[in-house]
Amino acid sequence: MNLLIRSATVIDKKSEFHNQTLDILIRGGIISDIDKNIKNSKNYKELKLNNLSISNGWFDYSVCTGEPGYEERDNLLNTLNVAAKSGFTSLGIQPDTNPIIDKCTEVEYLKSLASKSNIDIHPIGALTKQSTGNELAEILEMGDSGAIAFGDFKKPIENPNLLKLALLYCKNQNYPIFSFPFEKKLNIDGVINEGITSTLLGLKGIPAISEEINIKRDLTILEYTGGRLHIPTISTAKSVDIIRKAKSKKLNVTCSTSINNLFFSDLNVLNFNTNFKVLPPLRSENDIDALIIGVKDGTIDLVTSDHNPLNIELKNLEFDNANFGSIGLESFFGALNKLFSTKMSIDILTRGKKIFNIHNSIIKIGELANFTLFNPLKDYIFKKEHIHSISKNSIFIDIKLKGFVYGTISNGKLTINE
């Protein structure tokens, strides 16, 4: 690909061009020049966009796609096209497909499908066979085939011995083990955060302690075994405190939170809109404040879109019966950029690569072009027409966002968000 990008503000704190507005020349997919007013001597295609900023390509480590098995929700290639238009050049793909991604052949199948896209995918293998929680899956074999971590999506590890064995088993290979913090026996049939709102609506609650007690257990096991533990999508203030203390003890733990839990509280459930039924549930304003502080001080390592497409038959139900989940790729940057500064948002969107040993390029001459193109200042109301996913179950519909993604340059291809 040959392209001349005009007047782009570089946001890359590792680059010598950070905070400068410059032209960028790409030849054969490689950055060949960065300077003011580059002469287009070979008549390359030029790209000039309003208030254009450019950063390293973004990464979201927790994305679901329907394929294989649930193509009515979405398929892999469309999900990757959505990701490219939403600013992402690499994704972690969750194993909740049919069949579950619990074998090396299934990891290889996903990667072969994605070879037709300009997005790099990094499958997360199921921790247990068929994600039933009974027996460890083929972890090391999946790792050899390209899986970057192992966990059963939105399912807790009920047997603590399995977590102990997994941490020990992967200790030398340094693979992160995911443990979703959710004690089922403390929230039977719960659908929203346990509190005033659940009482007011007459809905069964999911108490904060059901998350926190699992985190304490898992950290105790980690301290005993060593290895790498990742706790996905924490949602309570106390969870942040527990993990902060664990990190101060130098335990090898990372964690994430969902953009949903940073942006919305359980008060948003008052109208029974099932797009607000997510797991973990939306918590209190106090929890949101603690999560935002946790992101800023580094206690929370990652923020994810928690992109989970669900067809209308699974969401257009009574609140009790609807499935948990929301799509999030298309709205992710606009929501994140509304909560944090643009530089902080870009740091959040790129720092996850280091945790999973994924190369994070620097914007410099001679480097492969792996960019996200965006306007950080554009305010707009997120509407259904902004959704490119097949499923439309977005928690952000009719929400005011800040920052619009133009597209990506990755693997020698330009993708523009029309």
Q: List active site positions.
A: 306
CA–CA gap between residue 236 and residue 213 (Å, rounded): 12
Going by their DSSP bridges, the two strands 205-206 and 192-193 should be labelled as parallel
Residue 43, C-beta contacts closer than 8 angstroms, at least 6 positions apart? none
SS3 of the chain: the string is: CCEEEEEEEEECCCCCCCCCEEEEEEECCEEEEEECCCCCCCCCEEECCCCCEEEECEEEEEECCCCCCCCCCCCHHHHHHHHHHCCEEEEEECCCCCCCCCCHHHHHHHHHHHCCCCCEEEEEECCEHHHCCCCECCHHHHHHCCCCEECCCCCCCCCHHHHHHHHHHCCCCCCEEECCCCCHHHCCCCCEECCHHHHHHCCCEECCHHHHHHHHHHHHHHHHHCCEEEECCCCCHHHHHHHHHHHHCCCCEEEEEEHHHHHCCHHHHCCCCHHHCCCCCCCCHHHHHHHHHHHHHCCCCEEECCECCCCHHHHCCCCCCCCCCEECHHHHHHHHHHHCCHHHHHHHHHHHHHHCCCCCCCCCCCCECCEEEEEEEEEEECCHHHCCCCCCCECCCCCEEEEEEEEEEECCEEEECC
The partner residues of 408 in beta bridges, in order of sequence, read 372, 415
Give CA–CA dist 143/141, Å, rounded.
Answer: 5
CA distance 215 to 7: 47
Distance CA 324, CA 249 (A): 34
Q: Which of 59, 81, 79 is nearest to 67 (CA)?
A: 79
> Nearest CA to 336 among 395, 279, 262, 409?
262
